Structure 1
Amino acid sequence: MSINRPVNIGLIGAGRIGSFHAQSVARRLVDANLVAIADPAPGAAEKLAAELGAPNAYTSLSELLANRDIEGVVIATPARFHTNIVVEAAEAGKAVFCEKPMALTLEDADRAIAAARAGKVPLQVGFNRRWDQAFAEGRAAIDDGKIGSPQLIRSLTRDPGPFDADPAKIPQWTIFYETLIHDFDTLLWLNPGAKPVEVTAVADALVRPDFADKGFHDTAVVTVRFDNGSIAVAEANFCAMYGYDIRGEVFGSGGMVTMGDVRRSSMTLFDKNGVSNDTWRRDTDHFVHGYTAQLAAFVEAIRTGEVTGPTGEDARNALAIALACVGSVSERKTVKLIN
């Protein structure tokens, strides 16, 4: 399939990240049209569609999928709905971009992958760090052999504080399924060709210790061993008071690459109070290029039928580590992965 005109996109889910993706399609991509938005919350789709000039707004997913003008959908609903929507969209013949995580069980991941394969539609998953310039250049250096064989790999996510969410409303294991899932994909991507063989995880409620006995986790450290001998560490915390901190590092037999910086730029202020830097405070500011680039790649996948970004299989591989983390924390043991 090759399409020369702008591609028609429908958005499913008009929340925070969905609204940002809608803005990207409508205002940042020159070769895509935002033609429809669906959200079950009364007025949510209509309001966002009016702001962005999208001609169609629905409260029903089936109505959006029945729109024959739509060639691809961007799924940005709560995670528990992702798999069923991927399947319905694929069965309707729509190309699919799904926010992470694509699924919460391996069975659902397989179901989503199979639906896309049966429908012969592209399936891309939203691991936006791959599109960040620093991370992309780090992977290129690894591919070029500039650091030798990877030995130690690190990825971290520290969300900006203060933490003001209600822990009672956060699904259990969110720190693995929705936060560290990015880091798991990053570790796999920065160690090309290697497979994880065992996972050890520890987690606790250090930001909100009053919710520790309710199964809430806001802090975690994960160790992953790979079949090429390399060892990786991922860590997350929900409250970095100094800003939104996303970093990666790969140390190898011949050198090292580091990626990411909490500082907004290399500008440093020197004044009567000392030395200071402004820091990133929102993911949509830090990764605006990455978020846009991944949707541009999705549009190209619709044009060509070839997915160059993270696939359903990539999402399944990251999920396998997340599930192993849940088992490791629950049973206080190292979990071996079956490849």
Structure 2
Amino acid sequence: MTYLPVTSARPEAVRVGLIGAGWMGAFHARSLSLRIPGADLVAIADPAIEAAQSLAAELGVARVTPDPADLFADPEIDAVVIAGPARFHAQLSIDAARAGKHVFCEKPGAVNLDELGRVEDAVAAAGVHWQIGFNRRYAADFLAARRDVASGAVGTPQLLRSLTRDPGSGSIPHAARVPRGTIFLETLIHDFDALNWYNSAAEPVSVHVTADALVEPGFKGAGFLDTAVVTVRYSNGAIAVAEAHFSALYGYDVRGEVFGSAGMVQAGRATATAAVRYGATGLSAETPRLNIELFADAYTAELADFAEHVRARRDGAAAPDHGVPLTPGLLDARRALAVALACIESAQTGLPAAVAGSSAGAEARA
């Protein structure tokens, strides 16, 4: 038997190195290896080398190292995905950019605006693509809502709402290990980006926070907060409310809403599917319990978008066009971080806090 030769028209995959083999890093690794044809996971770095080796063995990744610098020095790697602890995000982004690697960074992009400014400088100097993991933008219902806002279906946004209720059991055993400000910097920062994204014609101006440790009150003295409600005022007069809680007994609940001069659009629901059971005891429905259940498709889509942007730069092709602003970059990271930092101030003082000029620095560097 003689087979005919075939020339593939598929573009060369983007070769990615992963930094961080923990919960989120492992999901990204499986997406890069198994779910995104345009990407190829070629190396994993994590100081917890056993976790990196186990993940690499599962996925058939040949290169493993405890040192991210090995990924930056590898000429065969086009891009890196940063999924380590938040306090390392900025320096890893800087080092990657200086090595000419494109960067996908989990949120937050940095833990303060000065750090993020250094990332902006490094990315601009290197001319690489930098993207942040605001996955909610890629969830089908949230994106559909954004398209409605863009089309004018809701008119001018006036009232906005976003909520994140993490699943829990009524206690938080690891509360003592949660860094100060986590509810704002690593949880509500998703909500802040969603609100900024929906009301993109305006800037966040001020915040007012009410927050407490209602699940684990014994840790409040150490700065731990597990419950928060944030009011955000925007430059166009719109008012937004974001809320978060760390222990929803019924599951993982993420929703959004935009009310405007011409109507309203909502995104998200508390149930995993639209299926509802009717029985002698009443109604019941399944609920998602994990972030990788609720946002499995969105986590995959954001990395696929990242790979498309990297490939476009590498091959001199046009960047993906999604019809509405979608791919979150440094300006989006700065706007959301500025809100989060203002929230930390407001939570400490009990007073409204101004949001630092969220666009000026990034626009100057663009």
Asked if the contact 1:32/1:299 (under 8 Å) is kept, the reply is yes
SS of 1:243 mapped into structure 2: coil
Is it true that 1:195 corresponds to 2:181 in the alignment?
Answer: no
Question: What's the C-alpha RMSD, in Å, of the aligned pairs?
Answer: 1.2
For 1:20-65, what per-residue CA distance to the aligned partner results, in whole angstroms no more than 9, with x for missing partners?
0000000100111110000001322111111001111111111121
% of aligned pairs identical? 50
Is it true that 1:225 corresponds to 2:243 in the alignment?
Answer: no
Aligned residue for 1:181?
Answer: 189
Is it true that 1:153 corresponds to 2:160 in the alignment?
Answer: yes
Out of 11, 33, 36, the position equivalent to 1:4 is 11
Aligned residue for 1:244?
Answer: 252
1:8: Cα distance to partner? 0.5
Out of 33, 38, 42, the position equivalent to 1:35 is 42
Which of these two proteins has the greater Rg computed from alpha carbons? Answer: 2
Alignment of 1:290-309 (within 5 A): 290-305=298-313, 306=319, 309=327
- Between the two proteins, the alignment pairs up a number of residues equal to 337
Asked if the contact 2:338/2:356 (under 8 Å) is kept, the reply is no
Asked if the contact 1:181/1:319 (under 8 Å) is kept, the reply is yes
Aligned residue for 2:125?
Answer: 118
Aligned residue for 2:29?
Answer: 22
1:338: Cα distance to partner? 4.3
Aligned residue for 2:53?
Answer: 46
Residue type of the partner of 1:325? C
Asked if the contact 1:113/1:313 (under 8 Å) is kept, the reply is no
Following TM superposition, where does structure 1 have runs of at least 4 consecutive aligned residues deviating by more than 3 angstroms? Answer: none
Aligned residue for 1:323?
Answer: 341
Out of 85, 92, 102, the position equivalent to 2:99 is 92
1:165: Cα distance to partner? 3.4
Out of 350, 354, 360, the position equivalent to 1:332 is 350
Change (3 A) 1:131 1:57: same
Unaligned runs of 5+ in 2: 1-9, 314-318, 321-325, 358-366
Distance 1:120 1:42 in 2: 31
1:90: Cα distance to partner? 0.4
Is it true that 1:127 corresponds to 2:127 in the alignment?
Answer: no
Question: TM-score of the superposition, structure 1-length normalised?
Answer: 0.97
For 1:262-311, what per-residue CA distance to the aligned partner results, in whole angstroms no more than 9, with x for missing partners?
10111111123221000011010110110000000000110113585100
For 1:224-262, what per-residue CA distance to the aligned partner results, in whole angstroms no more than 9, with x for missing partners?
101111000000000010110000000001100000011
1:159: Cα distance to partner? 0.1
Residue type of the partner of 2:338? A
Residue type of the partner of 2:154? I
